[in-house]
Amino acid sequence: MRLEDFDLNAHAVIMAPFVRNEPEPEWVAAKDSGILPESMFTLYTRSSYLSFGSAPSFLSDKDHFLFSYFGLVLRSIKDCLVEADSELQTFAAAQGKGYNPEKRLRGENWDVEADANARRNFQLFLMSLLASLDGTADLIALFLTDSIKGLVVGRAVFSAIETWLQIPLPSSSLVITPQQQALEDLYERIKPIVCAQGEEQDWLKFARILRNKSAHIKNSVRSFVFKHSDQNLYTFLPAQWPFLWEQHMHATGAVPPAGFKPMPQLLLDILIHQDIVSYGHDLRDRITTLLGATVAAVDAMYLEFQSFPLNQAALSQLVGNFESTGFRAFQGSGQSPPP
């Protein structure tokens, strides 16, 4: 169907309430289930449940762009966390339902779609979880505009904050602005979480590689399955991308391109050291902790900045990143295909 085929003189519009005096049920459910960090719900409550007309002066422009965008991003973070939790639970439940050689030897049946579905669940889990971090980067850009290199309202990504955390903060001047104080507070809150050492180093970089590569080149993230003494099978991921096993292959009597290495040592060198299910749960917990610390800093800024003048720099960046196209319909479009 084409839009012109409809009566566009609307007499009534059905929408969610613009003004609320209590939290929406889905926010309460996400908080009560532990999916949502406490600071997220606190910020949601402090902003009058994102009700229209409740924007603080700092985010109050004549077109309602900044506060509307603030609400859009905050809701997106919540939705991402809820979706990530759902995909993780589905992924974990799929373990053991797919093919393995022992099932075939014993003549047992297996779900032929389980493994492919589990890979999709894991990919969607990563996409939602890391999208929540990019959402928090946009919140930081809204409140600390032009304070972190590469962080732009409407196009913010958390990797810019990661880069910023690698550099020591400059010494504070004698007169510290509220924005500078907030920037230092954010740095101190999240640097220990992001910049971990030892076995946990590069944890966020690794998650981002998994997300990007699994999305761009399907099935390029290889995995290895081992049977434990508890008789269960566990899957492990390589710590690098791409992992090309062929470098360790060779004809009888020849030397493999990567050189000889005992199998146990090779596996310890190339794989992460926890199975994929426990990794997924730990990653979700770590990112939830990081989100909680980041949003707690934003909540403190919301409280302190709310009576400040309009953040014109943030508004300019947001409007500058609006995108539109001339597309309206494919030529010859008409009747919708049958369901």
Q: pLDDT tens for residues 49-97? A: 999 989 999 999 999 999 999 999 999 999 999 999 999 999 998 887 7
Residue 300 pLDDT: 97
Residue 288 pLDDT: 97
Residue 252 pLDDT: 76
Residue 115 pLDDT: 78
Structure tokens given for 311? 């953040």
Share of the chain above pLDDT 90, in %: 59
Average pLDDT over residues 163-183: 88
The pair phi, psi for residue 271, each rounded to 5°, is -110, 155
Tell me the pLDDT of the chain averaged across its residues.
87
Residue 14 pLDDT: 59
Has residue 15 got a pLDDT over 70? Answer: no
Has residue 292 got a pLDDT over 90? Answer: yes
Average pLDDT over residues 281-305: 97
* Chain segment 300-333, per-residue pLDDT in tens: 999 999 999 999 999 999 999 999 999 988 887 7
Residue 334 pLDDT: 64
Which of 199, 143, 191, 148 shows the shortest CA–CA distance to 293?
191
**For residues 197 and 290, is the Cβ–Cβ distance under 8 A?**
no
Q: Is the peptide bond before 178 cis (omega within 30 degrees of 0)?
A: no
Has residue 3 got a pLDDT over 70? Answer: yes
Q: Which segment of 31-40, 106-115, 189-198 scores lowest on mean pLDDT?
A: 106-115
* Chain segment 183-224, per-residue pLDDT in tens: 999 999 999 999 999 999 999 999 999 898 887 777 767 776
Question: Which residues make beta-bridge pairs with 238?
Answer: 271
Has residue 242 got a pLDDT over 90? Answer: no
Say which residue, 300 or 233, is predicted with more confidence: 300
Has residue 110 got a pLDDT over 70? Answer: no
